[in-house]
Amino acid sequence: MNQYQVTNMIYIVKCVILATTVPLVAGHFGYRKRDQHTWVQNFKLCDGKLQSPISISSFKSITLPLPALEIIGYHDFLSSPLYLKNNGHSVVVNVNNHLGKRLPYIFGGSLDINQEYEVDHLHFHWGAKNNRGSEHMLNGIRYPMEMHIVHRNRIYSSLSNALNYKNGLVVLGIFFQEEDNKSLYSIVNHLTSVRWINNETKLNTSITLGSLLPKNTDVFYSYKGSLTTPPCNEVVTWIIFSMPVPISFSQLNKFRLLSNGNNLIADNYRKLQNIGLRKVYIRKLNPHLFVKYNEMTFNVADLDWFWH
């Protein structure tokens, strides 16, 4: 292979990587109340009827014996190099730029039958104080931080392509509550290197996505919603785990030092959206439900996501 071919090959690989790391956020936007009111002026989809986040209530959710959410590859170490980046709205770890290796993926649960969703990236939302930070609320509680692990439907070629389809994305929502968490060290210890907007650093320790999940993933809530940042595409099936993951006060404070160049990024969560006619399902397994559904797990093809 001559020098010209080598140069071309490098260029093609770079283009492929860029094509698979399209950010979910679009343009400039802020999280202050007056800023969030202007989102719809620049991003019309933010005024839709299926917007996220929402307030979730156990009492108003519909309990079903849904199949288990199958999580494949989450306990394997992610291929290196992994990079942590401050994009001005959050800190992001892109997982989708490892060519030639099957990425972790999920299926089952409340998701469409025979559909697999491959991990793309993860990011965080947090508050300046411990009484706020998460985007979703659960039973009136707003946790100090929420992590989103974003997955793309494998039938679509890229994240930007998936944004055009109602079944394009699945996002796992994980709450955090105050308690030390050694599994977060690999990310938290690098936050000082990405204090300023567009700072990026290589993670020098191996991580597994499984180490970032709650110990119990059997119980989860699910509903149809949107991206929580502009352009607010309504293409997300949300899966919110009921059990939070620990994070210490000192670990939270390291997130709170991050800056977008003008202000601290803390309080980077969207205001709650109207749930409208949407249903929220909760997966639980108990004897009563098994009898009700003839001792079979519920067929997700029969799910109706909206009240009529």
pLDDT tens for the 308 residues of the chain, in order? 444 443 333 333 333 333 333 456 656 799 999 999 999 999 999 999 999 999 999 999 999 989 999 999 999 988 778 999 999 999 999 987 655 678 999 999 999 999 999 999 999 999 999 999 999 999 999 999 999 999 999 999 999 999 999 999 999 999 999 888 888 988 999 999 999 999 999 998 888 999 999 999 999 999 999 999 999 999 999 999 999 999 999 999 999 999 999 999 999 999 999 999 999 999 987 766 656 665 556 678 889 999 99
Per-residue confidence (pLDDT) for residue 158, from 0 to 100: 93
Query: Looking at 37, 75, 89, 151, which residue is catalytic?
Result: 89
Structural domain harbouring 65: 3-302
User: What pLDDT, on the 0 to 100 scale, is given for residue 123?
Assistant: 98
* Measured CA distances, 177 to 156, 157, 164, 174, 242 (Å): 35, 36, 34, 10, 12
Whole-model pTM? 0.90
Closest CA to 254 of 144, 118, 151, 150: 144
Residue pair 75/210 in contact (Cβ under 8 Å)? The answer is yes
Q: Indicate if 89 belongs to the active site.
A: yes
For residue 27, the model assigns a pLDDT of 63
Identify whether 307 is part of a domain.
Answer: no
What local confidence, expressed as pLDDT, does residue 6 receive? 34
In the prediction, which pLDDT does 118 show? 96
Taking the C-alpha atoms of residue 203 and residue 93, their distance in angstroms, rounded to an integer, is 9
For residue 175, tell me if it sits in a domain. Answer: yes
Please state whether the peptide bond connecting residue 231 to the residue before it is cis, i.e. omega within 30 degrees of 0. Answer: yes
Residue 241 lies in a domain: yes
Q: Does 308 reside within a domain?
A: no
Number of domains in the chain: 1
Query: Residue 270 domain-assigned?
Result: yes
The amino acid occupying position 92 is V
Q: Specify the pLDDT at position 302.
A: 84
| CA–CA gap between residue 227 and residue 279 (Å, rounded) | 18
